[in-house]
Structure 1
């Protein structure tokens, strides 16, 4: 499974999440408006990454854990978003590997950061 396919599966598993192109890249939204994750090759630097909304303090926490995998993305970093490189060697771990578990956590937290409370309750109910 490619990184895009993995991100797509994680994002679209969330209640009322949709995918559309934004700024030339696949992006995921909650309902019609709030974007919570975007694929990123905006600067054509040959780095495959996602940018994700994040709750307060999460950006510094992730970057502090491993700055070779997590970064402050341009433009949205000032709003607390987190960047995740998907082209690092640890991204080749199995689907059960720690890297993809971290990515799944980041995608879910991004969703929770922008989703309305009704959808967060639905997500919590569905995960019981």
Structure 2
């Protein structure tokens, strides 16, 4: 999992004004104090290795999970807020993961960063 965390970290830290700090014992990434990605490795013994990211809301969350249940799931605690968990096990689609992390950053970033060109 260390290799996967390093890869997620590299993706997240390329985005403007990102900081990493633990939240609830998990490596978590923030922009302007707002959480946008969290890596979970067997969180509370669930046996899953995922990165949790924001979606635009419940409709997008439901559509992603319904369309690709092997890739997306509803994460504990963050799911009620519209987040999804992206599966990192096996041979994950890193292009998709990079896109989901960047999109999550866009949903959390302040307007001034988005107006400055964002990512």
Q: Return the offset for 1:62.
A: 1.9
**Structure 2 residue 106 is the aligned partner of structure 1 residue 116:** no
State the match for 1:96 in structure 2: none
Secondary structure of 1:90's counterpart equals coil
| Cα deviations by residue, 1:15-37 (Å, 9 ceiling, x for unpaired) | 10110111111100002x20000
Runs of 4+ aligned residues of structure 1 deviating over 3 Å after TM superposition are none
State the match for 2:43 in structure 1: 42
| Cα deviations by residue, 1:100-128 (Å, 9 ceiling, x for unpaired) | 1111111011111111011122344xx5x
CA–CA distance in 2 between the matches of 1:74 and 1:29?
Answer: 19
Q: Return the offset for 1:12.
A: 0.6
| Structure ranking higher in strand proportion | 2
Secondary structure of 1:2's counterpart equals helix
Q: In 2 relative to 1, CA 20–82 (structure 1 residues): closer, same or farther, beyond 3 Å?
A: same
Matches within 5 A, 1:1-128: 2-31=3-32, 33-40=33-40, 41-56=42-57, 57-87=59-89, 89-91=90-92, 99-124=93-118
Aligned length: 116
| Cα deviations by residue, 1:7-61 (Å, 9 ceiling, x for unpaired) | 1011111110110111111100002x20000011321233211111111333123
Q: Return the offset for 1:84.
A: 0.8
How well do the aligned residues superpose, as a CA RMSD in angstroms?
1.7
* Structure 2 spans left out of the alignment, 5+ residues: none
Query: Which TM-score applies when normalising by structure 1?
Result: 0.82
CA–CA distance in 1 between the matches of 2:115 and 2:64?
Answer: 25
